[in-house]
Amino acid sequence: MKASAASLKQRVSRLIWRLNLQNVVFRIREIRLAWGVEGRAVDDLGAPLPPPYLRVQVAGGADAEFFLESGRQSIQEFDALLQRSGSGFAGARHVLDIGCGCGRQARWVLRLNPRLTGVDINGLLVNWCRRNLQGQWKTLRLGDDLPAPAGAFDVAYAVSVITHLREATASAWLAQVARVLEPGGRFLLTFHDEHHVNARPLAEDLARDGYTVQWDSLEGSNHLAAFVTADKLRELASPYFEVLDYVPSSQSATYQAVFVLRRR
């Protein structure tokens, strides 16, 4: 019985992918996770919280406490890493949040520095930030140039963005981040490295290629999961950045590896 149920599930899954319906199924799952979730609408300081459906889209679940705490922990870690090579977020001239979602990290950066711009390909999430948070908020399409002039920022960060990009897109994206950072500007990004718990089945591919994609589907979305070794990412970034710090995924509060890069 279990074998037949598993076989049916596999056949249904293959049919969904063949008909290109995985995005519809994924959105239905997000609605189910958010359905009926209750909880506070503001954080401890009275700042608005995004509704459950938006929290699911960026955090994988609707729980308000997890949304807040995971964002706080990642920015606390980022700020400490920045201070190793200079000032933290509070001393930045202008901060760029790439893949800002509905402000899971930005709400904590804004408590340290109001000079923040957030960008994302999801207009629904960006619009919520625009209505409820300080800072500037912009929508762009995957593959667009970042909407800022050269050297506009001295600090940028991207949480789980490269994890949803194919290698060629990731390489072009790194060049764009370098363009909008001033020389010496610092960039923190998280990625699925070879030490990530979900990288084990891909160990052979990673050892051979350095960059591999699981569930290759709609690029830029949670359907696509990219894994890259620290050495490969260092190589991709090397035309524009030097690596200042590396925290393996097994040691990071974000559950992903963290690179701290400095613009050449």
Of the given ranges (28-32, 78-82, 190-194), which has the lowest mean pLDDT? 28-32
Q: How many residues does the chain have?
A: 264
CA distance to 156, 183, 184, 226, per residue, from 179 (Å):
12, 9, 12, 23
Burial string for 138-164 (b: 16+ CB within 10 Å, else e) reads bbeeeeeebebeeebbbbbbbbbbbbb
State the chain's mean pLDDT as an integer: 91
256: helix, strand or coil: coil
Give pLDDT, residue 225.
Answer: 94
Give pLDDT, residue 20.
Answer: 60
147-180 pLDDT, tens digit per residue, is 999 999 999 999 999 999 999 999 999 999 999 9
133: helix, strand or coil: coil
Q: Which of 3-17, 36-50, 52-66, 248-262 has the highest mean pLDDT?
A: 248-262
pTM over 0.85: yes
37-92 pLDDT, tens digit per residue, is 776 788 888 889 999 999 999 998 999 999 999 999 999 999 999 999 999 999 99
CA distance to 67, 79, 191, 248, per residue, from 108 (Å):
12, 11, 21, 23
85 and 262 Cβ atoms separated by less than 8 Å = yes
61-263 to CATH, choices 3.30.230.10, 3.40.50.150, 3.40.50.11900, 3.40.449.10: 3.40.50.150
103-140 pLDDT, tens digit per residue, is 999 999 999 999 999 999 999 999 999 999 999 999 99
Find the radius of gyration of the CA atoms of the chain.
19
